[in-house]
Amino acid sequence: MTDTRWIGNVLMAARPQAMAALLRHFRDLETAEEAFQEASLRALRAWPKNGPPRDAAAWLIMVGRNAAIDAIRRQSRTTPLPPEDLISDTGDAESEQAERYDASHYRDDILRLLFVCCHPELPATQQIALALRIVSGLSVAQIARAFLVSEAAMEQRITRAKRRIAAASVPFETPGAVERSERLAAVAGVIYLLFNEGYTSSVAEDRAPAALCEEAIRLARLVLGLFPAEPEIMGLAALMMLQHARAPARFDAEGRVVLLEAQDRARWSKPLIAEGLALVEKAMRHRRPGAYQVQAAIAAEHARAADAAATDWSMIERLYGVLEHMQPSPVVTLNRAVAVSKARGAAEALDMIAPLAKSLDGYFYFHGARGAFLMELGRADDARHAFDRAIALANTPAEAAYIRERLDAISQPAGRRV
Amino acid sequence: MQYTILCYHDEKVVCAWSKAEDDAVMARLHQVHEKLAANGKLGPVVRLLPTTTATTLRKDREPPLVIDGPFAETKEQLLGFYVVNCETLEEATDIARELGRANPGGCYEIRPIALFMDAGAAK
């Protein structure tokens, strides 16, 4: 490993904590970011010579803070104080050290940093982009590539988001218990949004969106490290790990979508599955169920099945039933219907989704699932109609190609089914 | 004499490795493992899942307390361990050095083993 790569990893790992402390200190995202940037540059100069500091985050906070104070003084054209004042102010250093060991303080710092990016005034796409830029430290170019948009468009999106944050009020007092759990829920929401952005837009030939999934998992591990006893955060992390574990099997060599039931399970990532299952188990112990935990439990059922035929569909149906109870939505009902079709046949599933036709008319998966049910019941014409609708609504070329294949299967001699 | 080589590293840094970096480290380590195994030096090798999957049982009270996560909050975490068969501490240290060249960063703690029971012995 070259020196800079090694330092890059340390900077990346220390970034959330350092950025979070700098944000608390300066109460301004832009200043905090510049301070961190400057500290990183100095780290690149100093660390290869001196070796890594014992506490990289503390080093970056101290150096970044001093650099930014210097810059502010220079800008305001006041006479700078002698640098000794900044460095040898031991009272300050001691309090800094005390702060560093106050775990709850540093927890709330990072939570605040994440929460700022999840500001309700920002649209979801800006929330994710800002979190990637500020917390994860991805470059604008990297983020643009992951979102499959131009760099200029992404730059603009992030600039707009920052401007909105600067104008909005950011709470700097230590949050109370209720507020903290609200923030945690908002942060979890954005992390999952980030994951889904990567999951739905990832295509076989482009690894960039899959990087979003990895980043989402990293952020979930970070939050879980801060709040190790929150079952919903365990659930969120597990859900993403168990889904992402399938990434190597989701596309075939030609870049076509491979459905869960047809995936080569030997290609699923075993360490991610092990970690996900461990977290599901830990979460259950708390007996405080939540939507992420239930979804993780569903993903765990798939992960535990040795092959598609071994899937416990009635368990999955029950779990979707629980989820439907917690978070009623037509999409959850649709998913339960898929489980029902596997457990008890397509006729019952088709009846179940009939009332959803209106609310899910613009949803790719609704027409795809409906087409599959109809095909299973031998209603080829109705199935063709449903698949045509699905193709029109496909989000990616791979999705459209998958449905087209099923359409082709209809045209084949009777009796053959895919 | 058997020694353990306890592997400590900042978990945040290791989790920041890309899959390619992780694979590269594992491939380099694998070469060392093979050599050690060929010389009959290598015992069990264990890589642990992240500390977020850990559960701690505090047994200094009755009933014991089950809590999430590792007991101690430290900068570097126990991420795995080796058991090696060596004549001397120096030999164990040399092995650790070689492993360290394949996997830089963090530290190895070399500890002699007082008792080692494998599954067969437990029967």
The answer to whether A38 contacts chain B (CB < 8 Å) is: no
Assign residue A18 the CATH number of its domain: 1.10.1740
CB atoms within 10 A of CB A82: 9
Give the separation between CA A52 and CA A43, rounded to whole angstroms. 9
- Is A224 inside a domain boundary? no
pLDDT for the residue A104: 55
pLDDT for the residue A232: 97
- Is A285 inside a domain boundary? no
Give the sheet arrangement for strand B42-47, strand by strand: B42-47, B77-85, B2-9, B107-112
pLDDT for the residue B122: 53
pLDDT for the residue A417: 43
Contacts of B75 in chain A (CB under 8 A): 54-55
Read off the DSSP letter of residue B47: E
How many cross-chain Cβ pairs, A to B, lie less than 8 Å apart? 57
Whether residue A137 sits in one domain with residue A79: no
Whether residue A108 sits in one domain with residue A95: no
Whether residue A118 sits in one domain with residue A199: yes
- Is A418 inside a domain boundary? yes
The answer to whether B46 contacts chain A (CB < 8 Å) is: no
pLDDT for the residue A92: 45
Identify the domain containing residue A16 by its residue range: 3-101
Give the separation between CA A245 and CA A247, rounded to whole angstroms. 6
Question: What tokens appear for A371 in the block?
Answer: 């087409």
Long-range contacts at A101-108 (CB < 8 A, ≥ 24 apart): A103/B73, A105/A174, A106/A17, A106/A20, A106/A21, A107/A226, A107/A227, A108/A174, A108/A175, A108/A180
pLDDT for the residue A211: 80
Closest Cβ–Cβ partner in B13, B68, B75 for A55: B75
* Mean pLDDT of the region B40-60: 94
pLDDT for the residue B117: 87
pLDDT for the residue A88: 40
Give the separation between CA A321 and CA A295, rounded to whole angstroms. 11
- Is A334 inside a domain boundary? no
Give the separation between CA A198 and CA A219, rounded to whole angstroms. 14
- The string of DSSP letters for A64-101 reads HHHHHHHHHHHHTTPPPPPHHHHHS-HHHHHHHHHHHH
Closest Cβ–Cβ partner in A12, A229, A271 for B16: A12
- Is A317 inside a domain boundary? no
- Is A81 inside a domain boundary? yes
Whether residue A16 sits in one domain with residue A53: yes
What total number of domains does chain B contain?
1
Whether residue A56 sits in one domain with residue A37: yes
What total number of domains does chain A contain?
3
pLDDT for the residue A83: 52
The answer to whether B69 contacts chain A (CB < 8 Å) is: yes
pLDDT band at B65; cut points 50, 70, 90: very high
CA distance A266 to chain B (A): 18
Contact indicator for A202, A209 with CB cutoff of 8 Å: yes
The answer to whether B55 contacts chain A (CB < 8 Å) is: yes
pLDDT greater at residue A395 or residue B84: B84
Q: Which of A101, A126, A154 is the last residue of a domain?
A: A101
Whether residue A166 sits in one domain with residue A85: no
Contacts of B50 in chain A (CB under 8 A): 221, 275
Identify the domain containing residue B36 by its residue range: 2-122
Contact B66 A285 (CB under 8 A): yes
Question: What tokens appear for A384 in the block?
Answer: 């063709």
The answer to whether B66 contacts chain A (CB < 8 Å) is: yes
Contact indicator for B5, B96 with CB cutoff of 8 Å: yes
Contact A13 B10 (CB under 8 A): yes
Contacts of A222 in chain B (CB under 8 A): 12
Cross-strand bridge partners of residue B9 = B77
The answer to whether A208 contacts chain B (CB < 8 Å) is: no
pLDDT for the residue A376: 94
Assign residue B27 the CATH number of its domain: 3.30.70.1060
Whether residue A112 sits in one domain with residue A96: no
Distances (CA, A) of A310 to A61, A99, A277: 52, 52, 17
b/e A165-201 (16+ beta carbons within 10 angstroms → b) = beeeeeeeeebeeeebeebbebbbebbbbbbbbbbeb
B2-9 vs B77-85, strand pairing mode? antiparallel
The answer to whether A282 contacts chain B (CB < 8 Å) is: yes
Q: Which of A171, A199, A215 is the last residue of a domain?
A: A215
Q: Which of A199, A215, A231 is the last residue of a domain?
A: A215
pLDDT for the residue A348: 97
Assign residue A394 the CATH number of its domain: 1.25.40
* Mean pLDDT of the region B63-75: 85
CA distance A355 to chain B (A): 41
pLDDT for the residue A87: 45
pLDDT greater at residue A5 or residue B110: B110
CB atoms within 10 A of CB A233: 28
- The burial of A75, by beta-carbon neighbours within 10 Å (0-12 exposed, 13-18 middle, 19 or more buried), is given as exposed
- How high is the mean pLDDT of chain B? 91
pLDDT for the residue A204: 60
- Is A255 inside a domain boundary? no
Contacts of A6 in chain B (CB under 8 A): 104-105
Contact A13 B12 (CB under 8 A): yes
Helices then strands, counting H and E runs in chain B, come out as 4, 6
pLDDT for the residue A339: 96
Contact B49 A282 (CB under 8 A): no
Inform me whether the pLDDT recorded for B44 exceeds 80.
yes
- Is A71 inside a domain boundary? yes
Q: Per residue of chain A (418 residues), what is the pLDDT tens digit?
A: 455 677 888 888 889 889 999 998 888 888 999 999 999 999 999 998 888 788 888 999 999 999 998 888 887 765 555 554 444 444 444 445 444 444 556 778 888 888 888 887 888 888 888 988 988 888 898 888 877 789 999 999 999 998 888 888 777 777 788 888 888 888 999 899 889 888 877 666 666 677 889 889 989 998 998 889 999 999 999 999 999 999 999 988 887 788 898 999 999 999 999 999 999 999 999 999 999 999 999 999 999 999 999 999 999 999 999 999 999 999 999 999 999 999 999 999 999 999 999 999 999 999 999 999 999 999 999 999 999 999 999 877 878 888 888 888 877 655 444 4
The answer to whether B23 contacts chain A (CB < 8 Å) is: no
The reply to whether the predicted model has a pTM over 0.90 is no
pLDDT for the residue A217: 93
ipTM of the complex: 0.85
